[in-house]
Amino acid sequence: MCKDFTITVFTEDHIGLLNRITSVFTRRHLNIESLNTSESQIPGIHRFTIVLNTTEEIVQKIVLQLEKQVEVIKAVYHLDEETVFQEITLFKVSVEQAAQHNLVERLIRDKNARILSVEQDFMIIEKTGHKAENDDLLEFLRPFGLIDYVKSGRVSLIKPDEELKNLHELVNEAKQANNNQSFN
């Protein structure tokens, strides 16, 4: 049965590693639902958050093949209920339409959105939430002069404390066991 899995990958911060990571998915003809990369809590260590809709059997294999990459320190996967996650969508809406339909108050009161900027012709609205909530707002805005929108990938933190601690220990341990090379 296919489900959404959030894969978290801790890696070195090296050029080209994104290619190497995505090619693990490409070669199995898997589509990545969303991908976010950023620094991590540990300096010098990069963090990937990848959402994949697939079976648990496949995600297990993917995680092992990710971890096999020389510059990957750790890869884990979690179900939605094991993580706290968020996505962000930015909307560009016509100011005229927003005023006509009294959108602003509804957006802020009912939809928990924020207004980031108001220009002469348009305004930028920000909504963070789960994908379904953001998509719900998208559908709400469509009839009201929606000019443009953009969605971010998922960012997610793992709930089980113990697991997170182990992860950080592992990363720290790896960091301490740094090789004696002038670069790594």
Least separation, in Å, of the C-beta of 164 and other proteins?
A: 19
Identify the DSSP state of 88: E
Comparing CB distances to other proteins, the nearer of 53 and 184 is 184
Least separation, in Å, of the C-beta of 64 and other proteins?
A: 4
Least separation, in Å, of the C-beta of 160 and other proteins?
A: 22
Binding site for other proteins (CB under 8 A): 11-12, 15-16, 19-20, 23, 26-27, 60-61, 64-65, 67-68, 70-73, 174-175, 177-184
- The Cα–Cα gap between 67 and 76 comes to 9
- The Cα–Cα gap between 172 and 97 comes to 53
For the record, the structure tokens of 116 come out as 């980031």
Least separation, in Å, of the C-beta of 30 and other proteins?
A: 14
Comparing CB distances to other proteins, the nearer of 131 and 168 is 168
Comparing CB distances to other proteins, the nearer of 72 and 123 is 72
DSSP structure string for 15-68: TTHHHHHHHHHHTTT--EEEEEEEE-SSTTEEEEEEEEEE-HHHHHHHHHHHHH
